[in-house]
A and B are shown apart, each in its own frame.
Chain A
Amino acid sequence: MKSKNKIMSEPNLDAALVEEAKKGETKAFELLVNRYQQKVANVIAKFVRDHHEIQDVAQEVFIKVFRALPNFRGDSSFYTWIYRIAVNTAKNHLVAKGRRIQNAPVEFEEAENFSSNEEYRNLDTPDAVYARDELEATMSKAIASLPEDLRSAIILREVDGLSYEQIAEKMDCPIGTVRSRIFRARDAVDQVLKPLKLTESTRKTNVK
Chain B
Amino acid sequence: MSNKSSQNVSELMDGELEKDCSKFLLKRMQSDDQLSQTWDNYHLMRSYLQQQNDAPLMHDLGAQVMAKIKQEQVVAESPADNRLHAWFKPLLGSAIAASVAWLAVLNFDGSGDINGTQSINNDMAVVKTAAQLIAPPAAHTARVEQKAVYTKYPSLTPKVQQYLIERNGQQVEVLPSYYNAEYMQQLQQQIRNKENSKTAE
Q: Real complex partners, A and B?
A: yes
Report the count of interface residues on B (CB-CB < 8 A): 53
Chain A residues with Cβ under 8 A from B39's Cβ? 31, 34
Which of chain A's residues have a CB closer than 8 A to the CB of B63? 30
Interface SS majority for chain A: helix
A78 at the A/B interface (Cβ < 8 Å)?
A: no
B55 touches A38 (CB 8 A): yes
Q: What 0/1 readout, one digit per residue, does chain B (44-75) give for beta carbons within 8 Å of chain A? A: 11111111111111111111111011001000
B133 within 8 A of A: no
Report whether B53 and A45 are in contact in the complex, using a CB–CB cutoff of 8 Å.
yes
Are B55 and A33 in touch, CB under 8 angstroms?
no
Say yes or no: B16 contacts A34, CB within 8 Å: no
Nearest chain B residue, comparing its CB with the CB of A55? B56
B22 x A13 contact (CB < 8 A): yes
Q: Is A59 engaged at the interface, CB distance under 8 Å to the other chain?
A: yes
Pick the contact of B17: A7, A35, A44, A51 (CB < 8 A): A7
B118 contacts the other chain (CB 8 A) = no
Chain A interface size, as a band, is: 35 or more
Shortest Cβ gap from B44 to chain A (Å): 7
Q: Could you give 10 example pairs across A and B, Cβ below 8 Å?
A: A8-B19, A8-B23, A12-B19, A38-B55, A40-B58, A42-B53, A55-B58, A164-B16, A186-B42, A190-B42
Chain A residues close to B by CB (< 8 Å): 2, 6-13, 16-17, 20, 25-35, 37-42, 44-46, 49, 51, 54-55, 58-59, 62-63, 66, 132, 135-136, 139-140, 143, 154-155, 157-159, 163-164, 179-180, 182-183, 186-187, 189-190, 193-194, 197
